[in-house]
Amino acid sequence: MRVAVIGTGVIGAAVGWHLSRSGAEVILLDRGEPGAGVSDWTFAWVNASNKTQTRDYFALNVAGMSAHRRLAARLGADGWWYPTGHLRWADSGEASEALRAKAGQLASWGYDVELWEARKVRRLLEPAVRFPAEDTPVAVFPREGWIDGRALTARLVGDALRGGARAIFGTAVRGIVMGGGRVTAVVTGDAERHRVDAVVNAAGPAGDKVAALVGRALPMRYEPGLVARLHCGDAPIRRAMHAPHVELRPAGHQQLVVHSREIDGRLVPHDQFPPALAEDLHALARDVVPALTGSAMVGARAMSRPIPSDGFPSVGALADVPGYYEAIAHSGITLAAVIGEVLAQEITGDGISPLIRSYRPGRLA
């Protein structure tokens, strides 16, 4: 079976890797460099604590965390997998009570979470963080963490290529050919036609454009996010964390990644942004970690997140277009490994996983 995977971010790379290991002939396609888009410019937090909209969605993300651990055991964890833990706190009484309620809900669902006072967190975990007060409640999630999306993508692609997969990078897919009522080929920007038995749309924010090549209208949200990288010498924090107005995590190579949904709300609908927004993001980070006063911004980029219109992933076959599959999700960082597993199983004939039955592409008209 020959499968083209369109889009080689972290999800597409995971799908391609699992397909290759399942014996499929895989063609990895990307208009740019693998992992250089959203997979590289994202907060990259691996979690299920922020995925409680439904119990099914929570279970899918818990499965995503477990799949990352399996992938790390099989692929090697160095350079991309950082199960450092995660912290979250608030700066008002009402928000702190909501955090307590969320922690209670998660604990009742069997999720690993504890509430500590800020003084204990400073003493034992993160001495460089400035909390609103010594008795501020802090939710501690010891099994969460972050990944380096670009490094993981490179590892998956490299391993798949060594296993016989092909790569066509730096050119866009211009067409998906149908014959006999099903997908038969893809056409790249150089007008070359590649025979395939199936295609996987893992094109992230461009997923709707790829879907249009088979006549499908894939409704997606436009929600841009601004991420900045700071150079800071020895990183003053060790974990991913959500402070009240900014998110921070280490990034290796003496860097930190910072993001703020408040800043995102000030972005205009394109990939450019006023430099002042990045400076405001830097200021929010310094307020939480005063040791970042001497840090320097080394990069900032705004990217559109790949979010289907109802906020949930679109994973699996589209019944109306035999041979066409979707793998569009936010957060792909948490879900990449499990989507790779279950979609490869589906494509190679091992059935549809119960984990994704609620997220089939056909629900999105």
Task: Summarize pLDDT for 262-313 with one digit per residue, the tens.
Answer: 999 999 766 678 899 999 999 999 999 999 999 999 999 999 999 999 999 9
Q: Convert the pLDDT of each residue in 98-147 to its tens digit.
A: 999 999 999 999 999 999 999 999 999 999 999 999 999 999 999 999 99
Q: What pLDDT score does 270 carry?
A: 63
The pLDDT score that the predictor gives to residue 222 is: 86
The confidence score (pLDDT) of residue 138 equals 98
Owner of token pair 């969460």 = 144
Mean of the pLDDT values across residues 248-256? 93
Q: Does domain 2-64+149-220+308-363 have CATH number 3.50.50.60?
A: yes
Structure tokens at 317: 């076959």
Element at 342 (helix H, strand E): helix 332-347
Q: What's the average model confidence in pLDDT over 6-10?
A: 98
Q: What proportion of the chain, given as a percentage, has pLDDT over 70?
A: 99
d(CA 249, CA 229): 10
Q: Over the range 235-267, which residues count as b (16 or more CB within 10 Å of their CB) and which as e?
A: bbbebbbbbbebbbbbbeeebbbbbbeebbeeb
Tell how far CA 198 is from the center of its chain: 24
Q: Where are the domains of the chain?
A: 2-64+149-220+308-363, 82-145+222-306
Query: Are domains 2-64+149-220+308-363 and 82-145+222-306 of this chain identical in fold?
Result: no
CA angle, 176 then 163 then 168, to 5°: 35
In angstroms, rounded to a whole number, what is the distance separating the alpha carbons of residues 63 and 315?
Answer: 15
Give residue-wise pLDDT tens across range 67-94: 999 999 999 999 999 999 999 999 999 9
d(CA 191, CA 188): 5
DSSP label of 145: E
What amino acid occupies position 332?
Answer: G
Q: What CA–CA distance (Å, rounded) separates 34 from 335?
A: 18
CB contact set of 251 (below 8 Å; sequence gap of 6+) = 148, 229, 235, 257
Task: Give the predicted TM-score (pTM) of the model.
Answer: 0.96
Tell me which DSSP letter residue 5 carries: E
Helix (H), strand (E) at residue 333: helix 332-347
| Cβ pair 73, 110 in contact under 8 A | no
Q: How confident is the model at residue 253 (pLDDT cuts 50, 70, 90)?
A: confident
Q: What is the mean pLDDT of the chain?
A: 96
d(CA 142, CA 329): 25
pLDDT of the residue at 92: 96
CATH superfamily of 82-145+222-306: D-Amino Acid Oxidase, subunit A, domain 2 (3.30.9.10)
d(CA 251, CA 148): 8
pLDDT at 155 over 90: yes
Look at 328 and 190; give whichever has higher pLDDT: 328
Largest Cα span, the chain: 68
Separation between Cα atoms, residue 157 and residue 180, nearest integer Å: 32
Segment 344-355 mean pLDDT: 97
Query: With contact defined as beta carbons under 8 Å apart, do 216 and 209 qualify?
Result: no
What's the average model confidence in pLDDT over 196-202? 98
